[in-house]
């Protein structure tokens, strides 16, 4: 009965094009030829050869089995297309999955893992959309390779992005070259590990958007994540890995992140009623999402002013007033002239709904509460600001993140974000005694400047 239904479903979908095998494994004796389709156990995903729109090249890919609009989530031979229909995906004598042409030895693609025992490997298309290569029989815990470790342009539920500390593999999402060409494109979405771990969108080597660091509730640059009621994201940081994974509350709901050829990270769910992918989230979204848009010590606030989104953090002023005047904030800000940092009377000014600065120059201590964090920051002259490291917890056990060096890529949101405390001197805080001392300093400074002008 199952078999009959399975064949019917597949015949309806692929009528006239393919003969469905309705099997989910590849073994030494059972390869997948161009035209064959593997269907996962729960019939959610299919694997086979496909051609992108307007292309005659053949690629091995995985797509959703049940939906009418072919949506490819993974491609094996991204940069090595096969030009005719003689491709075969099989398990070889070394236990690897290989893609070659009939009677030809050239490899278009291979899993290329070593140390697989005596060639008894089985590849299985799982219902999560993961293609796993097991040693020996299927359903063992041990896999020697899985497609989830080598993403294409799509990030699926259950897939881990980030670093496997044991193998050193950093799992990265990369865009297609174009809708006709699934080859590795310009854009990548990837985790970086300087300071505390952060996710970035890259164009080539250049950072173009920072999803940011994990705040306990989500990524600092993605305020919408905290309102996500269809899935949950979990950040894992232990001796084995630093990764992010998400799962759908309703596993039957089809949902994906895709990094488009134009460099937009989109999140979509399939709506059966309209038979369409509905996008409900994307980044970069506005000018303030542009990485380092307002330069060092600047911050980007799209709601504050109709004329210019850039501003300086409290205690700072534009480094280049001329550029600032023509609405170019890229040179950023510097300490206001005459400020006396790291003297008695330093304090903090609080900003709300903030995407905290790039944490490459930050230091995290999870055993300090927010108050101890402020004290720690005051005691250390290189500390420029602080925030809670985990806003899902209370002020006493949320940890402490401090910045030591240039603070870049700070922005505000209309909703979401967190509190951020910027270190300023007494004058900026407006303490009366300190205002007086600052006045003395300013007079001294003016005399100094006058001296410089007239006598040197």
Ligand X SMILES: *[C@@H]1O[C@H](CO)[C@@H](O)[C@H](O)[C@H]1NC(C)=O
Bridge partners (DSSP) listed for residue 268: 256, 279
The CB-of-191 to ligand X minimum distance in angstroms stands at: 19
293 binds ligand X (CB under 6 A): no
The total of other beta-carbon atoms located within 10 Å of residue 289's CB is: 21
Task: Candidates 25-33, 159-167, 230-238, 291-299: pick the segment binding ligand X (CB under 6 A).
Answer: 230-238
Residues 79 and 183: beta-carbon distance below 8 Å: yes
Closer Cβ to ligand X, 209 or 348, answer by number: 348
Task: Candidates 8-16, 82-90, 315-323, 328-336: pick the segment binding ligand X (CB under 6 A).
Answer: 82-90
427 binds ligand X (CB under 6 A): no
> Could you report how far apart the first and last alpha carbons of the chain are, in Å?
97
Q: 101: buried, middle or exposed (CB in 10 Å: 19+, 13-18, 0-12)?
A: middle
Closer Cβ to ligand X, 365 or 414, answer by number: 365
The total of other beta-carbon atoms located within 10 Å of residue 132's CB is: 21
Task: Candidates 131-139, 307-315, 331-339, 360-368: pick the segment binding ligand X (CB under 6 A).
Answer: 360-368
Query: Is omega for the bond preceding 284 within 30 degrees of 0, making it cis?
Result: yes
Query: CB within 8 A of 448, min separation 6: which ones?
Result: none
Instruction: State how far the Cα of 134 lies from the Cα of 117, in Å rounded to an integer.
Output: 11
Task: Candidates 228-236, 289-297, 327-335, 338-346: pick the segment binding ligand X (CB under 6 A).
Answer: 228-236
Task: Candidates 227-235, 236-244, 351-359, 390-398: pick the segment binding ligand X (CB under 6 A).
Answer: 227-235
Task: Candidates 83-91, 282-290, 311-319, 387-395: pick the segment binding ligand X (CB under 6 A).
Answer: 83-91
Closer Cβ to ligand X, 69 or 286, answer by number: 69
Closer Cβ to ligand X, 83 or 118, answer by number: 83
Closer Cβ to ligand X, 117 or 450, answer by number: 117
Closer Cβ to ligand X, 282 or 441, answer by number: 282
Q: Which of 38, 368, 373, 401 binds ligand X (CB under 6 A)?
A: 368
Task: Candidates 70-78, 133-141, 226-234, 237-245: pick the segment binding ligand X (CB under 6 A).
Answer: 226-234
Residues 83 and 56: beta-carbon distance below 8 Å: yes
Torsion of CA 399, 404, 409, 411, to 10 degrees: 50
The CB-of-301 to ligand X minimum distance in angstroms stands at: 26
Spell out, one character per residue from 27 to 66, where the chain touches ligand X: x when CB under 6 A holds, - when not. Answer: --------------------------xx------------
Task: Candidates 255-263, 266-274, 363-371, 423-431: pick the segment binding ligand X (CB under 6 A).
Answer: 363-371
Query: Tokens in use for 237?
Result: 């940081």
367 binds ligand X (CB under 6 A): yes
Instruction: State how far the Cα of 207 lies from the Cα of 228, in Å rounded to an integer.
Output: 26
Please report, for residues 41, 114, 127, 131, 271, the alpha-carbon distance to residue 24 in angstroms, rounded to integers and kept in the order given.
7, 24, 9, 10, 26
Question: Contacts with ligand X in 97-156 (CB under 6 A)?
Answer: 101, 110, 112
Size of the site for ligand X (CB under 6 A): 23
414 binds ligand X (CB under 6 A): no
Spell out, one character per residue from 174 to 193, where the chain touches ligand X: x when CB under 6 A holds, - when not. Answer: -----xx-------------
Closer Cβ to ligand X, 19 or 436, answer by number: 19
The CB-of-317 to ligand X minimum distance in angstroms stands at: 25
Closer Cβ to ligand X, 105 or 139, answer by number: 105
Closer Cβ to ligand X, 259 or 427, answer by number: 259
Spell out, one character per residue from 371 to 410, where the chain touches ligand X: x when CB under 6 A holds, - when not. Answer: ---------x-x---------------------x------
Residues that bind ligand X (CB under 6 A): 53-54, 83-84, 86, 101, 110, 112, 179-180, 229-230, 232, 234, 247, 249, 363, 365, 367-368, 380, 382, 404
């Amino acid at each position: 009965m199952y078999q009959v239904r399975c064949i019917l479903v597949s015949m309806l979908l692929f009528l006239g094009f393919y003969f469905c095998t309705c099997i989910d494994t590849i073994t030494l004796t059972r390869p997948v030829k161009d035209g064959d389709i593997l269907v996962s156990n729960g019939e959610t995903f299919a694997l086979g050869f496909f051609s992108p729109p307007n292309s005659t090249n053949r690629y091995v890919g995985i797509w959703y089995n049940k939906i009418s609009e072919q949506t490819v989530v993974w491609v094996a031979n991204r940069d090595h297309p096969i030009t005719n229909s003689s491709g075969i995906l099989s398990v070889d004598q070394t236990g690897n999955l290989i893609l070659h042409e009939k009677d030809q030895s050239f490899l278009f693609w291979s899993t290329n893992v070593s140390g697989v025992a005596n060639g008894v490997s089985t590849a299985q298309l799982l219902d999560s959309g993961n293609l796993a290569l097991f040693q020996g029989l299927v359903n063992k815990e041990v896999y020697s390779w899985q497609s989830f470790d080598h993403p294409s342009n799509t990030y699926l539920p259950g897939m881990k992005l980030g670093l496997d500390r044991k193998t050193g593999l950093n799992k990265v999402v990369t865009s297609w070259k174009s809708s006709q060409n699934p080859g590795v494109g310009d854009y990548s979405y990837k985790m970086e590990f300087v300071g505390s771990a952060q996710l970035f969108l890259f164009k080539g080597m250049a950072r173009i958007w920072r999803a940011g660091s994990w705040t306990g509730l989500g990524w600092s640059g993605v305020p919408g994540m905290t309102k996500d009621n269809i899935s949950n994201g979990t950040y894992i940081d232990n001796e084995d890995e630093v990764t992010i994974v998400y799962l759908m509350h309703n596993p039957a709901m089809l949902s994906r992140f895709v990094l488009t050829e134009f460099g937009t990270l989109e999140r979509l769910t399939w709506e059966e009623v309209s038979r369409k992918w509905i996008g409900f989230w994307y980044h970069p979204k506005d000018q303030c999402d542009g990485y380092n848009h307002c330069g060092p010590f600047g911050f980007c606030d799209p709601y504050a002013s109709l004329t210019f989104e850039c501003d300086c953090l409290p205690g700072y002023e534009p480094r280049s007033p001329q550029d600032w005047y023509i609405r170019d904030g890229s040179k950023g800000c510097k300490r206001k002239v005459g400020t006396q940092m790291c003297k008695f009377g330093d304090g903090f000014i609080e900003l709300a709904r903030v995407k905290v600065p790039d944490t490459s120059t930050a230091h995290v201590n999870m055993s300090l509460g927010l108050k101890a964090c402020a004290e720690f920051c005051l005691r250390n002259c290189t500390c420029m600001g602080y925030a809670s490291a985990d806003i899902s917890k209370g002020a006493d056990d949320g940890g402490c993140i401090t910045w030591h060096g240039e603070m870049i890529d700070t922005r505000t949101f209309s909703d979401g974000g967190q509190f951020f405390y910027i270190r300023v001197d007494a004058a900026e805080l407006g303490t009366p005694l300190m205002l007086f001392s600052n006045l003395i300093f300013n007079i001294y400074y003016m005399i100094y400047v006058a001296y410089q002008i007239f006598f040197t």
